[in-house]
Amino acid sequence: MKKLRVAIIGQGRSGRGIHGRYLVTDPARFQIVAAVDPIKNRRDWAANAYGCDTYSKHAPLLKRDDLDLVINASPSHQHVPISLEFLNAGFNVLCEKPLASKAKDVDNLIAASKKSKKVLAIFQQSRFAPYFEQIRKVIDSGILGDIVQISIAFNGFSRRYDWQTLTEYMGGNLLNTGPHPMDQALQLFGTDTMPKVICVMRCANTYGDAEDHVNIILTEKGRKPTGRPIIHLEISSCCAYPSFTYNVYGTRGGLKGSTSEMEWRYYDPKEAPKLRLIRKPLDGPNKEPVYCSDAIKWRKKTWRVPKAKRDLFTYMSGSFYRMLHKTLTTGAPLLITPQQVRQQIAVIEECHRQNPHIYR
C-alpha cells in the first residue's frame, strides 16, 4: 500500500482536531510531513506531534516536490484562493468545507483541477455518517412509499462569538454547519437539477453579523412535480429543545430519528383496509355523524448506531480518507465530486441573495 505524504495548511480546530487527529491513526496510508500555521505555539505542537516540518505561511510548500496531497484547512475565506494557488501549481488538494460561497468560484477551481490534471476533493465527510447511510437504505427500500417531505434539523442553542460569526470571514450557520446537512439534503433531493430555493435567515444569539438561524425549503421548479421530496432544512442556534435530526414523510409511513437512533413505521398495502371515496356525510352505527377512520396495521422497526460506528468522527473521517487514498493511488472516481459540491454552493448563494439584510 502506497503511503501518501501530506501537508496540512492550518492547525486550528479543523486542521489539528479533525485532519491531523485522523491521519496519525492511519500511518499505513498517510504521513504528515508539513504543517502551516501563523501561530507559533500551534506550529510547535505540530512539530512535536507529527514530527514534521512547519511553516508560518503556505508559500514554501509550493516549492516542495515531495507532497502527494495538500489539505487546505485555513480559515473559510481563504479556501478558494489557497486551493486555486495549489491546483495551479500542480498539487492534489483536499479543501475543508465550505469550499466557497459563490458558484463561479467553484467553477474556477474545477477548471484549474482539470487543467492541471490534479484531484480537487472537498471534505464532506458527513456523506458517510452511519445515520445517513441508514436513512438512505430505508428510503431506497421503498417501504415508506413515495417520499413527500424530508425535514432535517441541525439545531441547538448557543451564543457564538468567534470569527465564524462574521460575514467577512464567510461565517454564519449556513456556511459553518450547513454544508453537512445541505450535502445530505441534495443527495436525497437529486443532484441532477437545481431546486427552487426559499430561505429566511435571522441574526439572533450571535455576537457577529452573520446569521445563526436558517430556515430553507427546497422543492421542484415548474408546475409539474416529478416526485422529488420537499426538503425542509433548519440550522438554528436558538433551539433549546432539539427533538430530531431527520423526519421523513412517506405515503406509506415515515421515519424519525437522531444521529444515534431512529425508528420507522409503515404499512403493507396488502394488509390495509380497502377504501373508497364517499361524498355523502358519514354515519356511525347509530346513524350519528362520525369522522372517517382508517384501521391501518403498522409495522415498526428501529435502528441504533452499531458499536463499531459509534465514534462518529473516526467512522466518517476514515470512510472519507480511505476513499480519497483509493482515488489518489488507483485513479478510482471520487464519491463526493466537486460538481456535486457546486450544486450545494449554488443553493447557499441563492439563500444569501434572498437575505440582503445580512448578505449585502
CATH number of the domain at 110, please.
Answer: 3.40.50.720
Residues 234 and 256 in one domain: yes
Q: How many domains does the chain have?
A: 2
Is cis: bond before 98, omega within 30 of 0? yes
- CA 93/CA 335 separation, integer angstroms: 15
DSSP letter assigned to residue 109: H
Backbone angles phi, psi at 63, to 5 degrees: -90, -5
pLDDT value of residue 115: 98
* Residue 330, domain member (yes or no): no
Q: Going residue by residue through the chain (360 aa), what tens digit of pLDDT does each one get?
A: 899 999 999 999 999 999 999 999 999 999 999 999 999 999 999 999 999 999 999 999 999 999 999 999 999 999 999 999 999 999 999 999 999 999 999 999 999 999 999 999 999 999 999 999 999 999 999 999 999 999 999 999 999 999 999 999 999 999 999 999 999 999 999 999 999 999 999 999 999 999 999 999 999 998 777 789 999 999 999 999 999 999 999 999 999 999 999 999 999 999 999 999 999 999 988 999 999 988 899 999 999 999 999 999 999 999 999 999 999 999 999 999 999 999 999 999 999 999 999 998
* Residue 314, domain member (yes or no): no
* Residue 325, domain member (yes or no): no
Type of residue found at 288: E
* Residue 149, domain member (yes or no): yes
Structural domain harbouring 31: 4-123
In CATH, what number is assigned to the domain containing residue 229?
3.30.360.10
Q: Which of 170, 166, 162, 165 is nearest to 105 (CA)?
A: 170
Residues 223 and 269 in one domain: yes
pLDDT value of residue 306: 95
- CA 82/CA 78 separation, integer angstroms: 6
pLDDT value of residue 360: 81
* Residue 48, domain member (yes or no): yes
Residues 29 and 177 in one domain: no
* Residue 290, domain member (yes or no): yes
Residues 95 and 183 in one domain: no
On whether the CB atoms of residues 235 and 177 are closer than 8 A, the answer is yes
pLDDT value of residue 223: 74
pLDDT value of residue 231: 98
- CA 295/CA 297 separation, integer angstroms: 7
**In sequence order, what are the residues at sequence separation of 6 or more whose Cβ sits closer than 8 angstroms to the Cβ of residue 248?**
135, 138, 139, 144, 147, 149, 150, 151, 254, 255, 256, 264
Residues 219 and 118 in one domain: no
pLDDT value of residue 355: 97
Asked which of 102, 123, 144 is the last residue of a domain, the reply is: 123
Asked which of 80, 101, 123 is the last residue of a domain, the reply is: 123
Asked which of 123, 149, 182 is the last residue of a domain, the reply is: 123
* Residue 335, domain member (yes or no): no
pLDDT value of residue 222: 82
This prediction's pTM: 0.95
* Residue 279, domain member (yes or no): yes
